[in-house]
Structure 1
Amino acid sequence: MVAAPIHAEEVPILKIYTYDAFAAEWGPAGQLKAGFEAICGGCVVEFIATDSSIGTLRRVQLEGATTEADLIVGLDTAVAGEARATGLFADHGLDLTGLSMPEPWKDQQFVPFDYAHFAFVYDTDTTATPPKSFEELIALPDDFKIVIQDPRSSTPGLGLVLWIKAAYGDRAPEIWAGLKPHILTVTRDWSESYALFLDGEADMALSYTTSPAYHIIEEGDETIHAALFDEGHFPQIEVAGILKSSGKQELARDFLAYLASVDGQKIIPTTNWMFPVVDLGAELNPAFGTLPQPARTLTIPDDEINANAKAWTDEMLAAIQ
């Protein structure tokens, strides 16, 4: 007996909104697509990129229940509260007790897939002694320049707003005003900022404690470092979630399980340049183990972020204009 051919329209297509760097040729999307398609029993994974992770959320907010997306991959915990409040996301229903993260994961709607702390990166060839706090940075000559991202369009940009608020509270406007002379520019996304830094246009760029791993592993360059600040650092945990409107709930849940599995996670560190959320043991490139990490992690509750993020962003923009 010969099996009947599967018509194209019968092949389930899992559509995933994500940000452009995740879906880029060098990003994780291609390998994740191939890995999941090999085990899903005849599905097709389609990544659809927007200009930023915040852009993915804005898109599904506009599209509502008519969205073609089954999942979003690439939100983070700073916008998870806002995403949850839309009512567009379903519970994932997965047992995530086996994850290896700084804190146990309890979120019922979003599944983490990588994490790192926000940090300013610098080049030891041009900056021998980096600042060790925001206040030391402010005290440097005005010609010491940094590049940062817009919190309205970039999760690292929003992360910096939260970092300063968590570290300084009501003094945040004072810190922003002090940083103003040092800000070369505020870019729309991380890629633009980092390119300016690598081109020598700025002394430091807002990025991650894990960014030096890229230069060590891909370029054999050990001159790029993350400056550790005495105040502590704010973390970014990237997450993925299923849209309630998806007609492929089970397939979407299977993808999230794969994303958080060892097979999915071993793709992440050297494509997205963040720490995995499971213990990869010897499969994690040893360069990640050499990266200095903050002694203190700063946090703000999700509900407080959701209630105040816009006001804190407006506060930042007013201080640097």
Structure 2
Amino acid sequence: MPKFTYLPAVAGLAFGATGALAETPVLQVLTYDSFVSEWGPGPAIEAAFEETCACDLQFLGAGDGAALLARLQLEGPRTDADIVLGLDTNLTAVARKTGLFAPHGVDAALDLPIDWEDADFLPFDWGYFAFVGNADDPAPASLKALAESDIKIAIQDPRSSTPGLGLLMWVKTAYGDDAAEIWTGLSDNIVTVTPGWSEAYGLFVDGEVDAVLSYTTSPAYHLIAEEDPSKVAWAFDEGHYVQVEVAGKLAGTDQPELADQFMAFMVSEAFQSVIPTTNWMYPAVTPASGLPDGFETLINPEKPLLLSAEDAAEKRDAALDEWRNALSQ
């Protein structure tokens, strides 16, 4: 059933008069909570898109990134969403198998650290996972060194959070058959496992843990928004796992033209220029103005790590078992 917001067509109608109502089409985008927060990119993107679409763009927050897929699997074709924004390459193979997505039809020159070809899922930003700590504290040089230290960390649940799942893939990609051993070592470091990124990062900012699983770009927030250079991402010898965040159009959308318009808008200057200083990630298409001052201070991993979507789906269950077994001991 089409979704509409009903607005008066003529302002200043006399009380009691029956005015004509204009039907404003509604486009619903299912995404993660931090995207739609007042400090996230959602409000600015909503305003910019509505200037071009004669529509009502509504962002629907649904927890952290991995929770989006769980909700979509639960709702199936009954979902009210027209677009899902916030999955990543560790989830796209499973998402594709739902049969709920349609080709996005966008041809854009993307600025990614990997080659990209996917008819269903279109990137909107990317980054490297990293542990973020305080500049004055000793920094481990690898995941293994972190596991052998007494540094207290907060991580996210891989069943609900894309950073949490990204850490599983990072450990698995870097250490293969020795991944279980790394998790056994890390289990003593982990103070808590949170449902999403925001909760874990808040614990770090509040000083309840020494470091937190986040991104190499996270220190840019403190530097640019707070003029605080005291937060740093640790560079690890085994490399850093890449996250590419994507959006996909639902095949069952009742607003296909608007959905196509939004997907094209997603790689435009108006959308991409908002990403660096609201989502604190690298844009999928570098804005004409370039990256903000401060991004040049970030670490640049020499060894990007990334499993294909299919390999990530294949290894996910085994990696989850290793993680659960280590934390249950």
TM superposition score normalised by structure 2: 0.92
Match of 1:75 in 2: 87
Deviations 1:161-208 (A, max 9, x none): 000000000000000001111111111111111111111111110000
1:1-321 correspondence runs (5 A): 5=9, 10-40=23-53, 42-96=54-108, 98-125=109-136, 127=137, 129-140=138-149, 142=150, 144-321=151-328
Contact preservation (8 Å) 1:92, 1:108: yes
Q: Which residue identity does 2:188 align to in structure 1?
A: P
Query: Partners in 1 of 2:277 and 2:61 — Cα distance?
Result: 20
Contact preservation (8 Å) 1:32, 1:259: no
Deviations 1:103-127 (A, max 9, x none): 23211101101110000001113x1
Contact preservation (8 Å) 1:73, 1:241: yes
- Farther-moved stretch of structure 1 (289-298 vs 209-218): 289-298
3-state SS in 1 of match to 2:187: helix
How has the CA–CA distance of structure 1 residues 8 and 191 changed in structure 2, closer, same or farther, with 3 Å as cutoff? farther
More strand by share: 2
Query: Partners in 1 of 2:114 and 2:315 — Cα distance?
Result: 24
Superposed CA RMSD in Å reads: 1.5
Contact preservation (8 Å) 2:9, 2:22: no
Query: Partners in 2 of 1:75 and 1:89 — Cα distance?
Result: 12
Shift of 1:5: 3.6
- Farther-moved stretch of structure 1 (58-67 vs 207-216): 58-67
Contact preservation (8 Å) 2:269, 2:288: no
- Farther-moved stretch of structure 1 (11-20 vs 56-65): 56-65
Deviations 1:260-279 (A, max 9, x none): 11111001111100001112
Q: Which residue identity does 1:38 align to in structure 2?
A: E
- Farther-moved stretch of structure 1 (98-107 vs 194-203): 98-107
Paired residue total: 312
- Farther-moved stretch of structure 1 (189-198 vs 278-287): 278-287
Give ranges in structure 1 of 5+ residues lacking alignment.
Answer: none
Q: Post-superposition, which runs of at least 4 consecutive aligned residues in structure 1 deviate over 6 A?
A: none
3-state SS in 2 of match to 1:206: strand
Shift of 1:9: 6.4
Deviations 1:18-65 (A, max 9, x none): 11100111111111111111011x111011111112222222211111
3-state SS in 2 of match to 1:100: coil
How has the CA–CA distance of structure 1 residues 174 and 74 changed in structure 2, closer, same or farther, with 3 Å as cutoff? same
Shift of 1:281: 4.2
Query: Partners in 2 of 1:262 and 1:289 — Cα distance?
Result: 20
3-state SS in 2 of match to 1:286: coil
3-state SS in 2 of match to 1:73: strand
TM superposition score normalised by structure 1: 0.94
Contact preservation (8 Å) 2:148, 2:186: no
How has the CA–CA distance of structure 1 residues 9 and 317 changed in structure 2, closer, same or farther, with 3 Å as cutoff? farther
Contact preservation (8 Å) 2:89, 2:308: no
3-state SS in 1 of match to 2:305: coil
Shift of 1:283: 4.5
Contact preservation (8 Å) 1:137, 1:179: yes
How has the CA–CA distance of structure 1 residues 185 and 8 changed in structure 2, closer, same or farther, with 3 Å as cutoff? farther
Query: Partners in 1 of 2:98 and 2:221 — Cα distance?
Result: 35
More helix by share: 1
- Farther-moved stretch of structure 1 (251-260 vs 53-62): 53-62
